[in-house]
Chains A and B, each alone.
Chain A
Amino acid sequence: MNILKKRIILFFFIFQLIWPVIHFAADKFLDINRWYFGGLSMYCLPHDKIKLTITINNKPLEEYPFINKSKNIQNAIRRHKHHYDAYGKLLTRSDLVALIQKKFSSNVKVKIVTSRVPHVPIKQYNMY
């Protein structure tokens, strides 16, 4: 068999063996979200929890809008599942703004700040 093929395969497996290091480095030093930059063992990694800070007219929102998993939301999940944004499976940012404006008033100025809260299993208003 061609020696070139053997070499390609050798480097392929070396790449596989050091893959977790690459993955870790990408997350740690390049700030690439490991949930996105998944690879082989993506499913064992927890979603990062997203902490939402919603301010309406510069005042923090005390009560978070209840997100129901209705059929429409399920369709939204299907639509966006390859393009997760900070709100992951539930809603897009614009959907959420529309929901808040519907709950309060369409004139309110909604500001949404998201921050990642990795590996802290504490009670949060999480939107994945």
Chain B
Amino acid sequence: MNYTKSIPFLFDNYLSLADERNDNQSSRLNNFNNFLLFHVTFRSWMMYLDNQGRYSIIDFFCPLILTFLFTVFKKNGHKCTILAFLVYLIKFSSVFPTSPNHYYVELYFLFLFSIFNFRNSKNETNYLTNSLKLLFVIILFYTGIKKLLYGQYFRGEYLAYLISCDERFSSVFSYILSKKEMLSIKSGNYITGNYYFYLISNSIYLFEIIAPIILFFKKDHNYIKEMLIIFFITLFLISREFTFAAIFLQPFYLFFNTELEKVFNRVFMLIYILMLLPFISIIPMWTFN
């Protein structure tokens, strides 16, 4: 049975997200692949260093192997990616089902790069670009759907909870909420009654649901792309999730004709180096707490 013909919805019509006018797709994917390997290597080292001696044999060998693969990547890109995927899969499996959520995203990207050798043919390049874009759209869409289903955003309870226990959020939302409301939240009352706060809370999931739908059906919708950039910059600056931002935004760059990744990846690499400094005792450990 030919599955790909039986479900044309996915493969024939709507998966045609790749922009075939772009001749530099392959080099952009190469940059993505390169950054992906750099990212998983960095993350493995961070996890190893962060565990402070409580590591298994996998935690020890994973960063070493990934570092080796990253250094020889330029010579044999696709094989390195397949090996990196297998190593990361073992690491992922060793902690499943309690694997951290970012593992999933990293693993899926590695999986897609292992399946398609974009250096081989234009066809595989297009399929890989399509798949990465589609994965990005699905992830974004479901984050909104989950927020909607669990109902913790209707009256801002989840954001209020984050404010109550996390300095990152309380420092930002102190500009919107009054001192009285902040004190009330910190004492455990998560219903604020502030309508601006409700508006922000509800607009997050609405945007996360609507934006990927528009992005999926109208790939040239520049307005929504620009709004997404603003949304992501705001979101990641508030939550300070730089490593996740660095990797999650990679497929998003592919929606643009301009090579945004050239600028953003340099910024993220600088942040990565800054994040490593506490572990080699150049700056104090509590800096990024």
Contact = CB atoms under 8 A, between A and B. Distances in A.
A121 B190 contact: yes
A108 B142 CA distance: 48
Interface residues of B, number: 59
A31 B120 CA distance: 45
A42 B100 CA distance: 9
B37 interface: no
B4 A7 contact: yes
Among A3, A40, A119, chain B packs the most CB atoms within 10 A around the CB of A40
Contacts of B142: 19-20, 40-41
Nearest to A88: B165
A124 B188 CA distance: 7
Question: Which applies to chain B's interface (DSSP): helix, strand, loop or mixed?
Answer: helix
A20 to B, nearest CB: 6
B101 interface: yes
A81 B98 CA distance: 12
Contact of A44 (B138, B146, B161, B187): B146
Interface in A33-58: 36-47
B135 A16 contact: yes
Contacts of B265: none
B157 A121 contact: yes
B188 A3 contact: no
A32 B97 contact: yes
Nearest to A9: B131
Contacts of B127: 1, 5-6, 9
Interface of B: 2-4, 7, 10-11, 47, 50-52, 54, 95, 97-101, 104-105, 108, 111-112, 115-116, 121, 123-124, 127, 131, 134-135, 138-139, 142-147, 149-152, 157-158, 160-161, 165, 187-191, 205, 239, 241, 285-286, 289
29 contacts: A1-B121, A1-B127, A3-B2, A6-B4, A7-B3, A10-B3, A10-B11, A12-B112, A13-B134, A16-B138, A37-B97, A38-B100, A38-B104, A40-B104, A40-B138, A41-B146, A43-B239, A44-B144, A44-B150, A44-B158, A46-B150, A78-B285, A79-B54, A81-B50, A82-B51, A82-B100, A119-B152, A122-B188, A123-B187
Which 4 residue pairs are nearest across A and B when measured between Cβ atoms?
A: A42-B101, A123-B188, A38-B101, A121-B190
Interface of A: 1, 3, 5-13, 16-17, 19-20, 26, 32, 36-47, 71, 74-75, 77-79, 81-83, 89, 119, 121-124, 126, 128
